[in-house]
């Protein structure tokens, strides 16, 4: 009986935490906070060598920054950013000549473009070599499919079955690749797997462009960060 009550109590606690974080994200987006400072809760995390990680800068390029108000981002098959057109935040691939002639309707969402174009565009945004692979297709305990992973050789792999890949939201893609770039900076460190994930989430949330990600994506990142022991301060 005690075990049953304990399980029910934990279940209710999880629901309340999720609802609290949902309200937090909505509130945060309304007041448009540009920077959120995140600090790990556990004191023993201070023993980690963060000097290299602290040097990780936003990987977004100058052209993307100029066009960051909102709209679709158009890339060539070769991964060149051609420009930006109002309408959304999705990544589209188009022939350079057609873009120059204003034939925007010929563009394809990145997830429907050729595999070569996908590699080129993801690599351009990340600043490192990226590949697309058919990774895990089964959701984890939280109901999400693994989006990306990186290798010791310095490559980032985008999962074909992940929602970030399929939705093609520029800012969700950017933040996901920033997460993996943080992991690349951790290669060779003595950090635990929990510390690696916590710091990668911290890099995402502290990034000044995080508030431009979709609300669902922000919620996922914040929930994962808090459940791993992180604390959010304004």
pLDDT, residue 88, reads: 83
Residue 135 exposure: Cα atoms within 13 Å on the Cβ side: 21
Q: Which residues of the chain have pLDDT under 50?
A: 2, 4-7, 10-13, 15-16, 18, 21-58, 62, 65-70
Asked if 131 and 155 count as a contact pair (C-beta separation under 8 A), the reply is yes
pLDDT, residue 29, reads: 44
- Tokens for 123, please give them: 């690599």
Separation in Å, CA 77 to CA 110, 115, 172, 213: 10, 10, 21, 24
pLDDT, residue 229, reads: 86
pLDDT, residue 53, reads: 40
pLDDT, residue 148, reads: 83
88 vs 133: CA distance, rounded Å: 26
pLDDT, residue 96, reads: 96
pLDDT, residue 141, reads: 64
pLDDT, residue 108, reads: 94
Match 């929930």 to its residue by tokens: 223
pTM of the model: 0.71
- Domain boundary assignment for the chain: 34-59+127-233
């Amino acid at each position: 009986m005690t075990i049953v009550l304990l399980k029910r109590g934990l279940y209710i606690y999880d629901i309340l935490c999720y609802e609290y974080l949902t309200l937090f994200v909505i509130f945060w987006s309304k007041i448009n906070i540009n920077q959120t400072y995140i600090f790990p809760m556990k004191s023993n995390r201070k023993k980690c060598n963060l000097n290299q990680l602290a040097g990780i800068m936003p990987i977004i390029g100058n052209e993307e920054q100029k066009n960051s108000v909102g709209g679709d981002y158009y890339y060539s098959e070769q991964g060149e950013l051609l420009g930006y057109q109002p309408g959304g935040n999705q990544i589209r691939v188009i022939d350079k000549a057609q873009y120059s002639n204003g034939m925007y309707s010929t563009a394809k969402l990145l997830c429907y473009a050729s595999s070569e174009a996908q590699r080129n565009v993801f690599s351009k945004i990340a600043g490192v070599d990226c590949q697309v692979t058919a990774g895990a297709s089964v959701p984890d305990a939280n109901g999400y499919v693994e989006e990306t992973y990186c290798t010791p050789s310095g490559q980032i792999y985008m999962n074909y079955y992940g929602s970030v890949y399929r939705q093609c939201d520029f800012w969700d893609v950017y933040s996901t690749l920033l997460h993996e770039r943080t992991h690349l900076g951790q290669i060779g460190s003595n950090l635990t797997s929990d510390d690696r994930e916590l710091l990668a989430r911290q890099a995402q949330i502290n990034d000044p462009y995080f508030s431009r990600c979709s609300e669902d994506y922000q919620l996922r990142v914040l929930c994962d960060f808090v459940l791993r022991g992180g604390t959010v301060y304004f």
